């Protein structure tokens, strides 16, 4: 009897840890729209993810938009690949190759659409 009870306790503990692990691994669903303060930058270099800054790259606070998130901003699709030291809270920095265009963009209040939050851990694995 004690062996059966011990086996049930072990099974319950394992199933609880399996469920917890599955919850952590689930990709987060898109969160709809988000109001942010957007600024543009044109300084080339490496991003926090290790890629080179280029068109289509956005810097964001990882607690708001983790690296790998995909967002629609005005007329384009961008990927969060940088964290930027001054990008905290609901702020984003948009990379623009043309510094004159970046200066003209200035700082704007925008509503962006979050298409994916963070990396999809299941992508590419079969």
* pLDDT for the residue 121: 58
Task: Give the residue, 13 or 66, on which the prediction is more confident.
Answer: 66
Half-sphere exposure of 47 (CA within 13 A, CB side): 25
Residue that the structure tokens 């990709």 belong to: 27
Taking only the tens place, the pLDDT of each residue in 69-93 is 999 998 899 999 988 788 999 999 9
Rounded (5°) CA angle 68-73-79? 15
Taking the C-alpha atoms of residue 91 and residue 87, their distance in angstroms, rounded to an integer, is: 6
The verdict on domain 32-116 having CATH code 2.40.40.10 is yes
Taking the C-alpha atoms of residue 19 and residue 87, their distance in angstroms, rounded to an integer, is: 34
Segment 6-13 mean pLDDT: 41
pLDDT at 120 over 70: no
pLDDT at 29 over 50: no
């Amino acid at each position: 009897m004690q062996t059966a009870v011990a086996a049930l306790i072990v099974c319950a503990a394992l199933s609880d840890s399996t469920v917890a692990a599955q919850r952590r691994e689930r990709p987060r669903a898109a969160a709809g729209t988000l109001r942010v303060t957007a600024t543009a930058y044109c300084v080339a270099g490496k991003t926090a993810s290790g890629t080179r800054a280029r068109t289509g790259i956005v810097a964001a606070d990882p607690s708001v938009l983790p690296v790998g998130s995909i967002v629609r901003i005005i007329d384009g699709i961008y990927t969060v690949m940088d964290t930027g030291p001054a990008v905290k809270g609901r702020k984003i920095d948009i990379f623009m190759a043309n510094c004159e265009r970046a200066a003209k963009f200035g700082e704007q209040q925008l509503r962006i659409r979050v298409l994916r939050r963070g990396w999809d851990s299941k992508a590419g694995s079969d």
